[in-house]
Structure formats: structure tokens, C-alpha cells
A and B are shown apart, each in its own frame.
Chain A
Amino acid sequence: MKILAFAEQRNSQFKKVAFEAVKAARTLADKLNADVVAVVIGNSVASIAGQLGGYGATKVIVAEDPRLEFYSTTAYAKIIAEIAKQESADIIFLPASSMGKDVAPRIAVKLNAGIASDCTALTVDGGTIKATRPVYAGKGMIDVNIKTSIKIFTLRPNVFTAGNSNGASASIENKKVELSDADFIVSVKEVKTASGKKDVSEADIIVSGGRGLKAPENFKMIEDLAASLGAAVGASRAVVDAGWRPHDEQVGQTGKTVSPTLYVAVAISGAVQHLAGMSSSKYIVAINKDKDAPIFSVADYGIVGDAFEVVPALTAEVTKLHGK
């Protein structure tokens, strides 16, 4: 049996989800007595491929091409499907990232495989793999069984922890995939990144603000607390709809569903849609004036108080802690 793990990279650097996918593959492979083969696609990526050995890949297949400097839905789908066929892979892991979610359906059609999206747990029961995934933005959980012989799982970022490299090495194989212009019919020509801005879907710590902050300029204190914690800034739907914050910061049912290690909700009452999007966070802190706010029902730690006083004090304490 063989598990193929897609190791996502950008700018010749692995994303955290790459290590998570390889490590999750290793964990499942140990239960199924399977091999783990990682796949890296890009322009100049051979030099980083060896890192994946330390997370459990025994072999890393590298597909390089100058035209793969940026992501291409169609070219990536072709390469991954071709490698899966060559390796006779039974299982394919991809991150449930912007890239993984985009390419997974195309690979599935090419390989006649079923997909379980955005999985948060994988267990083996009598040889059958059971995938657990949130539905209704986390208001419910389902266990699913993929019935096709090839199975694709996309893994929610931050849930399958990669830990540290154990320093093991892997064999590296270069794969030449013949790519025509037609394979690049969908191609990224440019990537625009907000410099230094952390995305809520990738962050270990998120500090989110809600309508209780009263005005957009008051998000400065949320940004300050986030900066002290090395966190991403998130927002409730109310403040996004009001135009105070950009859409990409919205956490909740019509925004992003997140699972950080620590989620700090400031002046967010906790509408059912918001709770759905963040209640799978490992630790939740709520700061709200209203002791009856629903956010406290999911919080591990709460301060019932005025955010305008509590948040600056918290920033000062965090800065003091990190200054030691």
C-alpha cells in the first residue's frame, strides 16, 4: 500500500501544511503498513525536497519545470495524477489549503477517486479508513468512508501537527512530466502578498475583534495585541460587512473556519455563525463586557470586562513575558 503526500511549497519554501501532510501520511502508513511518497512541484525545488524525509517520507518525487514557478491548476493536476498512477498510490493526501482544495477535485476525476475534504481526523478500523470532517462550518461532524479504490483526503491546516523533523533522509527521484501549453491553460501569472500579514487560516494564534470595538480605528489595539503574540488579525462578520475589515479576515460560517492553538475573541458576542468557525480552536479566550455573551460558552478563559481597558493591559503583559 502506498500513500502519496503532496508537499505544498511557495517560493521554494515548504508551507507548514506540507510537513503536516507528510507527517499525517506517515502516521496513517504506520497503521496500514504502507509506504509514504511525497511529491514536490515547482521551478527550483529539488534542493528542499530532502527535508521531507524528516517527517516520514521514504521517497520524494520532484517535478520541476521553469513554467512551474507559479501554481497552475491544470498542470499540477496532471503531474500529481501521473505520479499517482506511476506509483500505484492507494491514498493521496493534500492540504485543505487554497491550492489543495483547488487541485484535488481535478485529480479525483482523473483517477476515478473519491474525496473527503477538510478532514480533521483519520482512523483505521479493521482496514477501513474513517475520515472525520466538520460540516455546517463545524456545527456538526461527520465520519465518512470513501468507497473507491483510490482515496483522496484533504487535511485541514493546523490540525495534523507535524512536530519537528527527526532528521531522517529520503531518496529523491526526479520526474519528467511532459507538459504542453494546453496544460497551462489555467496559470498564475503573478502573486500579490500583503507583506508581513498573517492569514487566519494558517496562524497558530488569532486575535479577532467584533462590533463591540465600536469603530474601525479601534482595531489598532487588536493589531497591537496580535503583533505582541505574533498572531493574525481576525474579524467577525458584522465588522466585515460594515466595511471595517477586509473579507479575508472574516472568521465564521461565511468566512474562514479556523483551528488555531489560541483564539482570542475581543468584543465578539459569539453569534452561532462565528462560533461555528472557531470553536475547534485548541484554546479560546473571550473578552467581553456582557457576562451572558455566548462566546463565553466556548471559552477556556474569560475576562468579563471592557475591551478598551483589558486589551492594552494584555498587550503590555504579553510584551513583558516575551521580553524576559
Chain B
Amino acid sequence: MKILVFVNHVPDTETKVKVGADGKLIDPTGVNFMLNPYDELAVEEALRTREKFTGEVVVASLGGDSNKETLRKSLAMGCDKAVLLKDASVRDSFAVAGALADYAKEYGAEIIFFGKQSIDYDGAQVGGLVAEMLGLPSVSVVVKLEIKDGNIVAEREIEGGHEIVHTKLPAVIIAQKGLNDPRYPSLKGIMDAKRKPIEEKTIAAVESRVEVVEMRKPAAKAQGKIIGTDASAAAELVRLLHEEAKVI
């Protein structure tokens, strides 16, 4: 099977956001970047799919040279080939999805994996956009996946439960936490990854549909009240929530 997984290179979850000089993007100084955690689930599921059906897993990422670090990690986990869709400019989700859809078509992917969202912009759009651009079925926030004879049965997370979704290959699968436990790269995997080539492709500029006007930190909260130091404070807390905050 021709399996494609798209990964993003994002500031790690420890990052304390500082707004950059342009007032629109974060200041990347001192920020560590990592493989987007939801995309790590997508890589793992891609590898499991290959282990079940044979074939190859291509991992692709759109961005600058720094994305190679995330591609290397994906190779170390076991992906066969890596592709960098090289463009360091700022793109909205449409401009990203357009480039990814073009590559998926060129490659002829039979199944495409995404993470449910990148933990930077949290847009949760790109997987669905690519699917619609390619005219493919998609299932999002997937926590369980079964593929048999070209048929897919997936469980997706909804508020307070799960939906059992039926569809068919070729398809786009968008991973949510709970789908699997991603493997750690083995030492051999890490060594092999260093030797695997990363193919670089230049991609066309596309106009963004959504522009960021301003980025800022959320308003800081006023210092709260410490009501007490033991169980005797419970009554006062309940009174404040009931009478002052009026939330219970």
C-alpha cells in the first residue's frame, strides 16, 4: 500500500509564548521545536498500516530546513522516505493544504494520515481540506481504526462518546490521542534515519485566505483570593461561588 503521512514541526508544549517583533507571529528565540504530538500518532498508525498490509510509508512536511529534524525523527520511527515541501513563508491552512494535496496526488497515496491539529495554530482544518480538495473520504479525531478489504471502520471521538464511521479506501485518516501509543525510535532506527535521503521539492506560492492581523498574549488575570488552608474554608468557598461569582 502507498501510505502517506503529513507531519508538522511545532514549538514544544513547554514553550512560553512571546510575541515577535512583527506583532503577528511568535518570537522563536529559545523555542524548541518538535514533531507535532498528534502527527506522531499519525506516523505510528501509518507504520502499523504498513506492517499489516506491506508497502511503503512516505512522510512529508511543509516548511523550511528546520522541518528536517521532524522528518528525521519520523524516519527514525520507521518511515521509508521523507519529502520536504520547501517553503518557509507564512501560509494559512488553505495554502498549506493546497500544497499537500498536490503532493498526495503526485505520489498517488492510497491512505493519508494527519494529526487532528497542529499545536501551534490549533486550526484543525488541514486534513479535511486536503480530503475535500482530493475528493477523498475522511474521518477525523480517530481513536480506533480497522481496515479490511478496502473497507474502513473507524471510531471518532465526539462529545461524551464515540461515532462508528464506515468508509472506503483511498481515504484520509486524522488521528486523535488514544489511537495508539507511538513507538520510540530504536537506536538502529536513528542510525538508519541519518542515511535515508530527504527529498526536497519546491512548491508554488499560494495566496492565503486568512491573514493574521495581530497576535498578543491573553489578558493576565487579577490576583485571586486565598480563602483558607484547610477543610474549614470549604463553606466560605461555596458561599463565594454562590453569592459573589454566582456560578453555582
Q: Do A and B bind each other?
A: yes
**Assuming the A-B contacts A71-B163, A193-B160, A254-B37, are A110 and B132 also in contact, with contact meaning beta carbons closer than 8 angstroms in the complex?**
yes
In the assembled complex, the Cα of A241 lies from the Cα of B37 at a distance in Å of 13
30 contacts between A and B (CB under 8 A): A77-B132, A98-B140, A99-B158, A101-B128, A105-B97, A105-B128, A105-B131, A106-B128, A106-B132, A114-B94, A115-B123, A115-B125, A134-B122, A135-B121, A137-B122, A145-B211, A147-B208, A147-B210, A147-B211, A188-B164, A189-B165, A254-B13, A254-B177, A262-B248, A272-B13, A273-B14, A283-B245, A301-B241, A303-B230, A320-B238
In the assembled complex, the Cα of A143 lies from the Cα of B23 at a distance in Å of 11
Interface residues as binary, B209-225 with A (CB distance below 8 Å gives 1, 0 otherwise)? 11111111110010011
Q: B173 → chain A, closest Cβ, in Å?
A: 11
- Do A303 and B216 touch (CB < 8 A)? no
Given A97-B159, A309-B230, 13 extra CB contacts under 8 A: A102-B128, A110-B132, A115-B210, A117-B122, A117-B124, A137-B119, A138-B218, A142-B212, A144-B212, A186-B138, A248-B157, A301-B224, A310-B234
- Do B224 and A299 touch (CB < 8 A)? yes
List A contacts of B248 (CB < 8 A).
Answer: 205, 229, 262, 318, 321
Q: A267 → chain B, closest Cβ, in Å?
A: 14
Interface size on A, residues (CB 8 A): 98
- Do B132 and A135 touch (CB < 8 A)? no
In the assembled complex, the Cα of A318 lies from the Cα of B215 at a distance in Å of 40
List A contacts of B218 (CB < 8 A).
Answer: 134, 138-141, 279-280
List A contacts of B145 (CB < 8 A).
Answer: none
Q: B13 → chain A, closest Cβ, in Å?
A: 5
- B143 in contact (CB, < 8 A): yes
List B contacts of A2 (CB < 8 A).
Answer: none
In the assembled complex, the Cα of A128 lies from the Cα of B135 at a distance in Å of 32
Closest 10 CB pairs of A and B: A105-B128, A114-B209, A193-B161, A313-B234, A313-B231, A109-B132, A247-B178, A139-B17, A199-B160, A317-B238
- A148 in contact (CB, < 8 A): yes
- Do A302 and B224 touch (CB < 8 A)? yes
| B215 to A, closest residue via Cβ | A142
- Do B93 and A115 touch (CB < 8 A)? yes
- B183 in contact (CB, < 8 A): no
Interface residues as binary, A307-318 with B (CB distance below 8 Å gives 1, 0 otherwise)? 001101110111
Count the A-B residue pairs with Cβ separation under 8 angstroms: how many?
276
Chain B residues 138-184 with CB under 8 Å of chain A are 138-141, 143, 155-168, 176-178
Interface size on B, residues (CB 8 A): 84
What is the interface of chain A mostly: helix, strand, loop, or mixed? mixed
Chain A residues 111-162 with CB under 8 Å of chain B are 113-118, 130, 134-148
In the assembled complex, the Cα of A291 lies from the Cα of B226 at a distance in Å of 9
Q: A206 → chain B, closest Cβ, in Å?
A: 12
Q: B112 → chain A, closest Cβ, in Å?
A: 14
Q: A188 touches which one: B93, B124, B163, B229 (CB < 8 A)?
A: B163
- Do B247 and A194 touch (CB < 8 A)? no
List A contacts of B15 (CB < 8 A).
Answer: 136, 139, 272
| B36 to A, closest residue via Cβ | A254
| B127 to A, closest residue via Cβ | A105
List A contacts of B124 (CB < 8 A).
Answer: 101, 117-118
**Assuming the A-B contacts A102-B140, A317-B235, are A140 and B242 also in contact, with contact meaning beta carbons closer than 8 angstroms in the complex?**
no
